Amino acid sequence: MSHHQRSKTKLATTIAGLLLSAASLSAHAATASFDSATATIDLPVLEIASGSNSPAFHATFSLVNNAGTTELQLASATPVDNIDGQRNTFDPTTQALHIAALPFNGQEYYAKLKLIPNTNPLRFSVEQFVNNAFEGCPSFATAGPTSGSCLLTGTYTQDITLTRNIQWILNGAVFIGDDKTNSATLTINPGTEIFGQQGADYLWIRRGSKIMSEGTPSDPVVMSGPEQLSPGEWGGLVIAGYSHVNGCNASDTICEVPFEAITSESYGGDNLADNSGVLKYTQILFAGFQVRPDEELNGLTLLSVGSGTTIDYVQVHAGSDDGVEMFGGTPQLKHMVLTNNNDDSLDWGGGWTGKAQFVLIKQAADDGDRGIEADNFKSNPDIAPRSNPTLVNMTLLGSSAGSQGILLRRGTGVSIHNSVFTGFGSSCLRIDGDATYAFAGTPGNLSGGLTIENSYVNCNTNFTDEADKLFLVSDWFNTQPGNHAGDPQLNGYLPAAGSPLLTGGAPIQGDAFFEATNYVGAFKDANDDWAKGWTFPFQ
């Protein structure tokens, strides 16, 4: 097939996908009402987004005039139980209140409010008021192939907002900001869909710029390929930051390196707390792009991203390479759903020293490599900064098609707590490379650099034990506290009643990032299904 023919075919499938998606999008109902006589806005359901048992209220707001600016003041709030369906959401992380669909003058609007600090009664400013119907493409985009779609092209050095009334199409590589200069913020509203059409269509947030992808539990942000059928339909999301990375000469005061797959782009710096923005309630679907053998774009590629970045309630599904790959950096992840990815669900190297808590990994029945593939640095496994993250409350469900639950190699450190590994084809746990073994110490006399505690393994072969290594992985696991091999009694990805996971964990002391848990795995119990509702179907 010629390139031209292939493009035409791609465009046809894109249009078909967009039309299908438009049909599903148009079917939403009002979530709020406005009474002009009393200047009151009524929200039958306002959810305070906080996981599987989010509280919800019937809330009313009065319009108040503050020096010529309209603000909304909370007038009443009564608890309600039923929070199914599309609803309004307050996100404590961003302090944003999202009104999904407010009828006004015969049209229906999305409103984004922001809590004004230290107000009592609570008062909100109005940040956005956007028609939920298509009103044409904004000046920063061009008309797309279907009615209601707009194309994003090239580099944006001004702040832009992607709204849900438009189907956004990435037209090639789309960059936010120039590298380290002309920085910009990309804001993505709840329920917004962004499509790439091929591997070369990807979204890249450069150093100094930000992404604010603020979905809600009932209106997640969706980044996807057009067909939503198979991995590799588009490139994926890349975020580059100023946190640390290794691989430089020891004499370099600041380490910056080119990205292996797109070598014209660089990342790294010395700001461990760097803030690249927010990813909340965001799906990244059917992404991944092999630029060269072993050099790919992943669903979510994090290049020296800093700890100031919020990554919480993010799903990466059916990527053609890894779900999330960290190249150095200090990003901290929470509530991750990594499903059906073709290589590893979580992959790191280059000195990642971040954290993760509440991670569900589910490998496809017929594809996938490792649940976690963990490196420090291939050609110099002891190089600093050394990869050494802390991972807590993970549930990893493998399949016979995959290899290990986790492979720790090339000098990485890690600290694993309260996690369960099941069903991986080769083994649950493997350690590789002399430097990795040496960094661990020896069973009974561990250094603290490579640890696992209060965790369960349940694979046909639990440990890859190799007699020529410094120690046996089984000895390493069995000599640390609270570890068990055996049936964790899972029902799908949730613990069944009576599961040993329900009480087998222990809280992480002295780190405010980690919520205190006394259970093993990503879910507290059978009722704690925080992965339900906002995710793309993966069962």
Q: Does 375 engage in binding with Ca ion (CB under 5 A)? A: no
* Closer to Ca ion by Cβ: residue 346 or 473: 346
Are 359 and 522 in contact, with CB atoms under 8 Å apart? yes
Q: How far is the CB of 414 from Ca ion (least distance, A)?
A: 16
Cβ 296 to Ca ion, closest distance in Å? Answer: 5
CB of 322 to Ca ion, least distance (A): 4
Examine residue 231 and say whether the peptide bond preceding it is cis (omega within 30 degrees of 0). Answer: no
Binding mask 295-334 for Ca ion (x = CB under 5 A): -x-x----------------------xx--x---------
Tell me which residues in 241-300 interact with Ca ion (CB under 5 A).
296, 298
Q: Which residue lies nearer to Ca ion by CB, 178 or 367?
A: 367
CA dihedral 259, 263, 268, 274 (to 10 degrees): -80
* Distance from chain centroid for Cα 38: 42
The type of residue at 534 is: W
| Residue whose C-alpha is closest to residue 303's, from 281, 324, 279 | 324
- 343 binds Ca ion per the rule CB under 5 A: yes
Distance, CA of 176 to CA of 351 (rounded, Å): 25
Main-chain phi, psi angles of 60, to 5 degrees: -125, 150
Task: Give least dist CB 236 to Ca ion, A.
Answer: 10
The answer to whether residue 108 forms part of the interface with Ca ion (CB under 5 A) is: no
Considering only the stretches 81-89, 119-127, 370-378, 412-420, report the one whose residues sit in contact with Ca ion under the rule CB under 5 A.
370-378
Closer residue to Ca ion (CB): 56 or 396: 396
Q: Are 406 and 370 in contact (CB under 8 A)?
A: yes
Compute the least distance from the CB of residue 368 to Ca ion, in Å: 9
Q: How far is the CB of 306 from Ca ion (least distance, A)?
A: 21
Which residue in the set 274, 344, 375, 432 belongs to the binding site for Ca ion (CB under 5 A)?
344
Considering only residues 439 to 478 of the shown chain, the ones binding Ca ion according to CB under 5 A are: none
How many positions of this chain bind Ca ion (CB under 5 A)? 10
Closer of 71 and 296 to Ca ion (Cβ): 296
Q: How far apart are CA 55 and CA 77, in angstroms?
A: 11
Q: Closer to Ca ion at the Cβ: 77 or 297? A: 297
Structure tokens at 273: 């707390």
Which residue, 226 or 402, has its beta carbon nearer to Ca ion? 402
Handedness of CA 124, 312, 392, 503 (dihedral sign): positive
CB 411 within 8 A of CB 433: yes
Output the smallest distance, CB 283 to Ca ion, in A: 19
> How does strand 123-131 pair with strand 107-115?
antiparallel
**What is the nearest approach in angstroms of Ca ion to the Cβ of residue 247?**
16
The reply to whether 347 sits near Ca ion by the rule CB under 5 A is yes
The residue among 214 and 373 lying less far from Ca ion, judged by its C-beta, is: 373
| Residue nearer to Ca ion on the CB measure, 127 or 260 | 260
Q: What is the DSSP-derived secondary structure letter of residue 502? A: G
* Smaller CB separation from Ca ion, 291 or 438: 291
Give residues with Cβ within 8 angstroms of 22, minimum separation 6: 146, 148, 167
Residue nearest to Ca ion (CB): 369
Minimum distance, C-beta of residue 350 to Ca ion, in the bound complex (Å): 12
Q: Which of 71, 201, 233, 369 binds Ca ion (CB under 5 A)?
A: 369
Q: Between β-strands 277-285 and 221-224, what pairing exists: parallel, antiparallel or unpaired?
A: parallel
Residue closer to Ca ion by CB (options 225, 488) is: 225
**Nearest distance in Å: CB 272, Ca ion:** 23
Q: Which stretch binds Ca ion (CB under 5 A): 126-134, 251-259, 335-343, 527-535?
A: 335-343
Q: How far apart are CA 335 and CA 484, in angstroms?
A: 24
CB 153 within 8 A of CB 161: no
- Identity of the residue, 208 or 368, whose beta carbon is nearer to Ca ion in the bound complex: 368
Q: How far apart are CA 264 and CA 245, in angstroms?
A: 17
Q: How far is the CB of 399 from Ca ion (least distance, A)?
A: 15
CA-to-CA distance for 204 and 265, rounded, in angstroms?
10
Give me 435's structure tokens: 């430097």
Distance CA(253)–CA(210), nearest Å, equals 25
The pair of three-digit structure tokens given for residue 283, joined into one six-digit string: 């799906």
Residue 373 binds to Ca ion (criterion: CB under 5 A): yes
Contact status, residue 96 vs residue 214, Cβ threshold 8 Å: yes
Positions touching Ca ion (CB under 5 A) are 296, 298, 321-322, 325, 343-344, 347, 369, 373
